[in-house]
Amino acid sequence: MNQFSAAQRSRVTIEDVARRAGVSKASVSRFIGEDRALLSDAIALRIEQAISALDYRPNQMARGLKRGRTRLIGMLVADIRNPYSIAVMHGVETACRQHGYSLVVCNTDRDDQQEARHLDNLRAYNIEGLIVNTLGHHLEQLQQLQQEMPMVLVDRKLDALHADLVGLDNPAAVHSAIEHLEQQGYRDLLLVSEPHDGTSSRLERSTAFAAEIARRPALRGQALATGAQLRQQLQAFLSAPGPGPKALFCANGVATLAATGALRELECPLFDGIGLIALDDLDWLPLVGSGITALAQPTAAIGASAFDCLRQRLQGDNGPVQVRDFAAQLIIRGSTQTAATAAARG
């Protein structure tokens, strides 16, 4: 058992290791770097024993800066409380770890000033590349960073940045949702979304919803945004006459939680007389009523693909900007079975 205190360990240097092992500092640097194969087995063993005895911890940041590489990837997230953001971030971090990189995550909390501070901090960390999932209200800073390092966008398109984009095939996902609802016998549909607020993915889903309704004469559709009036607006939708059974299409996990909470406040039996399908499959969806039908996003694959794009750019790929759209998976549960069951009984 070594007797070094934490303070003593922090003061152990590469010179101390070299002195104890009876080798040069260059040999120690080779051992802890990428040139260990250049050392003889005997020298490598002496260095390994010296490092163990002294409990030496190399300063990876300092070594990275000296070589011009930190092996750090930055990720700017709009809202770390959003389940989608957490899941994609996990996918990015897993891929980073598999390739010897570390991830620095900055949460803007949907605050423009916070985003500006984080962009400055990320530059100070000397990150090698940046993955962005924000509204991008500080385009000038992002454009400056893009001149210094590769950048990949996740979920949210920023037209002013010519960067690779990884996310969901939103029109295909909306098509799948509406087709399923129509096949199940629903005719009066309501899209529940968070306010667009410049978020390209939300706008794409709303636009695709309107297009799907327009091409299906048997359906009627309308849209509303989450907020303080959601409960009253849902009540109005439920009580209004329509062309047939009603269903909600919630455009993301946040909207699904808000809509489900509002339905409970209205004491609406879930899901008796109203269908519900969610874009994003969250852990709690199978637990509500007879389970909520969902379109699951492959968040792990999206995160891994974002890192893969970034790694390709870090390795010198100067090809055209890539757009990688992933397909959603329809998971059918009880929340979209009511209309079909009622029709069968009738």
Taking only the tens place, the pLDDT of each residue in 172-223 is: 999 999 999 999 999 999 999 999 988 899 999 999 999 999 999 999 999 9
- Note the CATH architecture for domain 70-168+300-326: 3-Layer(aba) Sandwich (3.40)
Strand partners, 323: 165
Calpha distance 184→179 (Å, rounded): 9
Over residues 127-137, mean pLDDT: 89
Looking at domain 170-297+329-345, what is its CATH homologous superfamily? Response regulator (3.40.50.2300)
Residue 148 CB coordination number (10 Å): 13
- Tell me what pLDDT residue 273 has: 83
pLDDT attached to residue 141 = 87
Confidence tier at 30 by pLDDT (50, 70, 90)? confident
Within this chain, domains 70-168+300-326 and 170-297+329-345 share the same CATH topology: yes
- Which class does domain 6-58 fall in? mainly alpha
Residue 346 has pLDDT above 50, yes or no: no
Give the alpha-carbon dihedral of 8, 9, 11, 14, to 10 degrees: 140
pTM over 0.85: no
With a cut of 60, say whether residue 344 has pLDDT above it: no
- Give the DSSP H/E element, type plus range, for residue 62: helix 60-67
Mean pLDDT of 316-338: 95
DSSP state of 265: H
pLDDT for the residue 28: 85
Bridge partners of residue 85, in order along the sequence? none
Tokens of 214: 């327009």
Query: 38-52: per-residue pLDDT in tens?
Result: 889 899 899 989 988
In the chain, domain spans: 6-58, 70-168+300-326, 170-297+329-345
User: Which residues have CB under 8 Å from 247's CB, separation 6+?
Assistant: 181, 184, 186, 188, 189, 190, 274, 275, 276, 277, 336, 339
